[in-house]
Amino acid sequence: MFINGQWREAASNKQFTSSNPATGEVIDQIPAGGAEDAVAAIDAAHAAFPAWSGRSAYERSAILYKAYTLMVERKDELAKLMTTEQGKPLRAAANETQYAADFLLWYAEEAKRVYGETIPSARGDQRFIIFKAPVGVVAAVTPWNYPISMLTRKLAPALAAGCTVVLKPAEATPLCAIAVFKILQEAGVPDGVINLVTAEDPKPIGEVFTTDERVRKITFTGSTAVGKMLAGKAGENMKRISLELGGHAPFIVYDDADPTHAAKGASLVKFLNTGQACISPNRMFVHESGVDAFIGELTSRVERLRAGNGLEQGVGIGPLVNEAAVAKVERQVEDAKAKGARVMCGGHRLMDNGLDKGNFYAATVLADVTPDMLIYREETFGPVAAVVPFKDGDDVLAMANDTTYGLAAYVYTNNMAKAMRTVEGLDFAIIGVNDINPTSAAAPFGGMKSSGLGREGGHEGIEEYLESKTAGFSI
Ligand code: NAD
């Protein structure tokens, strides 16, 4: 753990293991922090706040820029660590590391653009000036599926704004978090400004984060259930909150789109990170005129994906995070089969060639998925493409919106007016139009409905860490 500029063990001296999800091998022992450590970290962040928020934006920017250059220099090393601890293939890990570095660069720039406002008053003897001020101590909780970029997406804007931070990473990926903190330390972030509390049991730390009055904001990325619980407690104590939660993305292929081209996109975005992405398509609505071509192309691409240890050449798909994740995928696929879905490929665990030591499930394509199936409603977070045919007269927008989630959506069409109407009609906050990667450090990322509150990235991302102060001057 990293508290007040010192690397240390947990107060209890307890540890837990970080292991490789592809092989089951133990990688390292990690301090198992608890409530006492969380309080010590908040003490440090609270004490460091006045000096850090008092530094000029240019000084904070320079440190973030240095962290960006260090992260880019160490991209290969970080990618290897991520593949070993999280499981995604090396190329995907390198791409994520670049994405993570992009947030450091973007907020190194945005730090210098925190503008206030002057507002005309109705009174001739009054002037309004709106100042921006950092919110204070931020408590951050991050997930394992993007174990480096989800940290910089929070740390970079918080630091740019002048906040200090206590971060608790996911129990499955503490080593990636440690690597990020080492970079920030080396870049010159002063003692106490960033603090890392690793833990096997997150509950006592969540309790401290939501109740300690010195914590002014909580930023969380993870499941909707935990997000709602933390938001409830944070609300009771009047803390600001940002939540990036689960998703259930629709992927709509209209009759005028090329189904083969759309299937290529679907195969790339669905199986990225073995389907363990909040923006992963969970229901592929394909017009009946193109559905056979779509499924044919998708299946042939998915059958060619080689599963294994992401460090090996030619591996296109890694393990799931743990046994519970495999069991969830299995349950959804078995339920869909029992209710009439056709398994075009996959549909089982992978046990041969040593894969039984890791958490592997075969990349799967399901045809004829219907609304009564679990997979139609529940987030899968695994390598299953569920194809739902639709026909003329079906209200595909209503079908797509028929979910409690509202994070990402995708649409394939060659008709501009239809694309525009679809974007306007979808209750989702990130929409790819003939595009499978509608994300960037420069663009806002976040969800509607049960997918969350607030936005990360873009110029909106830093606002989450700022208060507006209205000063009315009588002159
Ligand atoms: P999770 O909610 O179980 O865990 C996320 C984080 O919350 C971890 O650090 C965990 O230790 C912590 N946590 C769990 N219980 C807690 C508690 N009581 N108090 C404090 N912290 C607690 O989710 P997960 O399974 O690790 O992550 C997968 C989920 O995250 C998916 O639903 C996915 O869609 C979502 N996700 C969303 C985004 C996004 O930007 N919207 C990005 C990545 C993942």
SS3 string, the chain, reads CEECCEECCCCCCCEEEEECCCCCCEEEEEECCCHHHHHHHHHHHHHHHHHHHHCCHHHHHHHHHHHHHHHHHCHHHHHHHHHHHHCCCHHHHHHHHHHHHHHHHHHHHHHHHCCCEEECCCCCCEEEEEEEEECCEEEEECCCCCCCHHHHHHHHHHHHHCCEEEEECCCCCHHHHHHHHHHHHHHCCCCCCEEECCCCCCHHHHHHHHHCCCEEEEEEECCHHHHHHHHHHHHHCCCEEEEECCCCEEEEECCCCCHHHHHHHHHHHHCHHHHCCCCCEEEEEEECCCHHHHHHHHHHHHHCCCECCCCCCCCCECCCCCHHHHHHHHHHHHHHHHCCCEEEECCCECCCCCHHHCCCECCEEEECCCCCCHHHHCCCCCCEEEEEEECCCCCHHHHHHCCCEECEEEEECCCHHHHHHHHHHCCCCEEEECCCCCCCCCCCECCEECCEECCECHHHHHHCCEEEEEEEEEC
Which CATH homologous superfamily contains domain 2-245+451-474? Answer: Aldehyde Dehydrogenase; Chain A, domain 1 (3.40.605.10)
Ligand 1 center–CA 150 separation, angstroms: 11
Q: Whose CA is nearest to atom 18 of ligand 1?
A: 203
207 pocket-lining for ligand 1 (C-beta < 6 Å): no
Distance 70 CA to ligand 1 centre (A): 27
Name the residues annotated as catalytic: 244, 278
- Fold classification of 249-440 is Aldehyde Dehydrogenase; Chain A, domain 2 (3.40.309)
Q: What pLDDT shows up at residue 383?
A: 98
Q: Is 141 touching ligand 1 by the criterion CB < 6 Å? A: yes
Domain ranges of the chain: 2-245+451-474, 249-440
pLDDT tens across the length of the chain (475 residues): 999 999 999 999 999 999 999 999 999 999 999 999 999 999 999 999 999 999 999 999 999 999 999 999 999 999 999 999 999 999 999 999 999 999 999 999 999 999 999 999 999 999 999 999 999 999 999 999 999 999 999 999 999 999 999 999 999 999 999 999 999 999 999 999 999 999 999 999 999 999 999 999 999 999 999 999 999 999 999 999 999 999 999 999 999 999 999 999 999 999 999 999 999 999 999 999 999 999 999 999 999 999 999 999 999 999 999 999 999 999 999 999 999 999 999 999 999 999 999 999 999 999 999 999 999 999 999 999 999 999 999 999 999 999 999 999 999 999 999 999 999 999 999 999 999 999 999 999 999 999 999 999 999 999 999 999 999 999 9
For the entire predicted model, the pTM comes to 0.97
With a 6 Å cutoff on the Cβ, whether 147 touches ligand 1 is no
